[in-house]
Structure 1
Amino acid sequence: MAGDEILQEFRDAGALLEGHFILSSGLRSPVFLQKMRIFEEPVRSERVCTALATLIRDTFGNIDIVVSPAIGGIIPGYETARALGCKAVFVEREDGEFQLRRGFEIPAGARVVMVEDIVTTGLSSRECIAAIRKHPGNLLGAACIVDRSNGKADVGVPLVSLTRLDVPAYPADQLPPELAAIPAIKPGSRVTA
């Protein structure tokens, strides 16, 4: 799937929104990708995540375990792992820090890729990767459906994506006038300070 096809999947699902949005990072943007609208449709999820699995396999080779951050990364992680024919596990916050729980393990020698839905600043990816590195597996890299940073986010490992976007994001005190004139909404999942 090419980048335009991925964006069309978001449009078709009603997941490409325009307005004034408060992102999970706390930044503000005129564009929001409501990825859960993609994942509410199993056939669409499968199509998008199969494309991501192909990109992962072409880039990193065979994979033993896909690790994703909870909660937004669970569905794409699972669907991508299913297409790769490997295990899917996720990290979740305990005492404010991502950790493997529920008996999940990453054994020595396991070939691991971190799968995210959307990367903007790379914060949740870096936190997930830090949790993965506490285990003896071989972390090969990271993958996401959409890289909103247009390749600028540093997640600490090689990052591949199905498409990149160059969408502006602003600190709340540096909004352009046209964005400041629109009431802000927070459609994401993470609570920001």
Structure 2
Amino acid sequence: MQEDDVLAELRASKALLEGHFLLSSGRHSAHYLQCARVLMNPERAGRLAVALAAKLPHDIRRNIEKVISPAMGGVIIGQEMGRALGVDAMFVERPEGTFELRRGFELSPGDKVLMVEDVVTTGKSSREAIAAIEDAGGKVIAAAALVDRSAGEVDLGVPFTPLVSLSFPTYAPDELPPELAATPAIKPGSRKQA
């Protein structure tokens, strides 16, 4: 699957939107990515996971024993990556603000884990998930994501493979270009706005 194919999937599912958006960071953008929309169709999610699994370096792909993703956004792609790689998929969640394995999920000491997300922007939640996996006894040998929004800048401390990289400019409220300033901002997303 080429980058244009991935972008077509994002647009067809209305996951990649254009307009005027107020992001959870407080910055503004003419583009917004809601990865949950591209993953809501199981066939599409499966195709994207197979493409992402194929993009992993062979030496990493053959050593993966478990896939773990952070809840909520990573659960679907984590499950599909487990299917694509033929290994169990689990997730970490934050019942008290810190990621941890729950629901009877366990790792054997040294299990080789792929941590997978839907979107990586700053890498903060990815690094927190990796720390939780390692605290639970796993060894994260790589990370993957459908979309890298970091402009290639993210450092997760392990090899990182995105299916596609997207970089859209964002603006502070006092830096808006005229075309954005002329339209009201929409507040999309899953996080509560401050």
Q: Normalized against structure 2, the TM-score is what?
A: 0.89
Point out the structure with max Rg over C-alpha: 2
CA 1:172 to 1:104, structure 2 compared with 1: closer, same or farther past 3 Å? farther
TM alignment of 1:59-138, pairs within 5 A: 60-62=60-62, 63-138=64-139
CA contact (8 A) 1:120 1:153 kept: yes
1:186 has 2:190 as partner: no
Q: Tell me whether 19-28 or 96-105 shows the greater mean CA deviation.
A: 19-28
CA contact (8 A) 1:53 1:81 kept: no
Q: CA deviation at 1:162?
A: 0.9
CA contact (8 A) 2:115 2:144 kept: yes
1:11 has 2:15 as partner: no
Q: Given residue 187 of structure 1, which amino acid in structure 2 is its aligned partner?
A: P
Q: Secondary structure at the match of 1:94?
A: coil
Q: Quote the Cα distance in structure 2 between the aligned partners of 1:71 and 1:142.
A: 17
For structure 2, the 5+ residue unaligned runs are none
Q: Normalized against structure 1, the TM-score is what?
A: 0.89
Q: Quote the Cα distance in structure 1 between the aligned partners of 2:43 and 2:74.
A: 17
RMSD: 2.0
TM alignment of 1:144-163, pairs within 5 A: 144-163=145-164
For structure 1, the 5+ residue unaligned runs are none
Q: Given residue 36 of structure 1, which amino acid in structure 2 is its aligned partner?
A: A
1:44 has 2:40 as partner: no
Q: Secondary structure at the match of 1:102?
A: coil
Residues 151-173 of structure 1: per-residue CA shift (max 9 Å, x gap)? 11223322111111121134455
Residues 93-128 of structure 1: per-residue CA shift (max 9 Å, x gap)? 121111111111122121101101111222221221
Q: CA deviation at 1:88?
A: 0.6
Q: Given residue 152 of structure 2, which amino acid in structure 1 is its aligned partner?
A: G
Identity level (%):
54
Q: Secondary structure at the match of 1:36?
A: helix
Q: Given residue 114 of structure 1, which amino acid in structure 2 is its aligned partner?
A: M
CA contact (8 A) 1:116 1:125 kept: yes
Q: Quote the Cα distance in structure 1 between the aligned partners of 2:155 and 2:22.
A: 21
CA contact (8 A) 1:25 1:121 kept: no
Q: CA deviation at 1:82?
A: 0.5
CA 1:184 to 1:131, structure 2 compared with 1: closer, same or farther past 3 Å? farther
CA 1:25 to 1:98, structure 2 compared with 1: closer, same or farther past 3 Å? farther
Q: CA deviation at 1:11?
A: 1.2
Q: Tell me whether 169-178 or 84-93 shows the greater mean CA deviation.
A: 169-178
Q: Quote the Cα distance in structure 1 between the aligned partners of 2:113 and 2:181.
A: 42
